[in-house]
Amino acid sequence: MKITKLTTYIVPPRWCFLKIETDEGITGWGEPVLEGRAHSVAAAVEELADYLIGKDPRNIEDHWTVLYRGGFYRGGGIHMSALAGIDQALWDIKGKALGVPVHDLLGGQVRESIRVYSWIGGDRPAETAAHALERKEKGFTAIKMNASEEMQFVDTFDKVDQVIANVAAIRDACGPHFGIGVDFHGRVHKPMAKVLIKELEPYRLMFIEEPVLSENYEALKEIALMSNTPIALGERLYSRWDFKRILQDGYVDILQPDPSHAGGITETRKIANMAEAYDVAIALHCPLGPIALAVNLQLDANCYNAFIQEQSLGIHYNQGNDLLDYIKNPEVFDYGDGHVKIPQGPGLGIEVNEEYVIERAAIGHRWRNPIWRHKDGSFAEW
């Protein structure tokens, strides 16, 4: 079997899909995308394709090694996202060729389903509580929310009070055992992170995500000791070498690599195995499309330390198209009782609606994250 063609599709709302074709008619799909940089990732896929044409798609580990190490400059969001989508598609091909799901090739399932959480929005406590209650009524047992809007290095306590009011309203509405993840989103700098993490302690959160940006991870040494709430981090890290220092320092409880950013199935599984050796949990990052979710579930099936899965059904980013629009078998994502079942079909377990992908790719997207500014005109982290 030989690889004959790689084709990328930029599709709404903010995704990039990749199709890899072979001379035996077996095709594989991946989702190589970095939010806001989809076209850059697609260009990187095209550059990496030069090596792959004519190669046997089944030699996944060797292809990953060459595509990573074969360039003098390596790593980072663009390169690793391009490599991720390629890797995903190669695993899809291999599973389809053998007639088994990818998780079977990784050693088999350790679970039949995994707990999922749902994103919510809302600027006022009543709205936040209503959104969380709506998700609970739909069967979700956990949600994640952004902690705050823009926040200065040192800000006023009315901002702190707003965060606490939003979280308190959810706790009151949904009860003491409903899971609440609070994402600081890198918007909060160390001085205010210290305040917020202490103030949020009584609300028994499932986790606090990115209390500071990953590049400021040394601040976790101080922040982590101020609360018993688990700390999650990792969506902006792209390889086992990025995660190595985080694990060695020991202040993060939950790693959140994104298999569409962190080198695909091959690399993310290695990151998860490293985390397990440090007794650290995995909650894979996935506010993306159906191919990405299928990839995540294949890994969740195989990684013992995975405990919950992000997914984008109904997320506020999905304007124009939602999670299930691009596949012919949406029932494969079998939600129920706060969980989703592990797909059992060959490869990634999904059937991509290629005709609709082509139709929507004619529209494409130019999604960019918002640019925020503080009241004084200075840039604010989004």
Structure tokens at 131: 């959104």
Residue with tokens 């076209």: 39
pLDDT score of 123 more than 70: no
pLDDT in the model for residue 183: 96
Residue 131: its H or E element? helix 125-137
What phi and psi, each to the nearest 5 degrees, are found at residue 140?
Answer: -70, 145
Mean pLDDT over 181-201 rounds to 96
Q: According to the model, what pLDDT value does residue 258 have?
A: 98
Tell me which of 185, 189, 261, 365 is the catalytic residue: 185
185 labelled catalytic: yes
**Active-site position among 63, 189, 285, 339:** 285
With 80 as the cut, is the pLDDT of residue 249 above it?
yes
Dist CA 322 CA 52 (whole Å): 31
Using DSSP bridges, classify how beta strands 231-233 and 309-310 pair: parallel, antiparallel or unpaired.
unpaired
Residue 125 has pLDDT above 90, yes or no: no
Helix (H, G, I), strand (E, B) or coil at 12: coil
Q: Which helix (H) or strand (E) holds 16?
A: strand 15-22
Average confidence score pLDDT of the chain: 96
Q: In the chain, pLDDT over 90 holds for what percent of residues? A: 95
| 3-class secondary structure, 17 | strand
Please tell me whether the overall predicted TM-score, pTM, comes out greater than 0.95 for this model: yes
Is the Cβ–Cβ distance between 284 and 256 less than 8 Å?
A: yes
* Domains parsed from the chain with CATH numbers: 1-101 (3.30.390.10), 106-345 (3.20.20.120)
Residue type, 326: Y
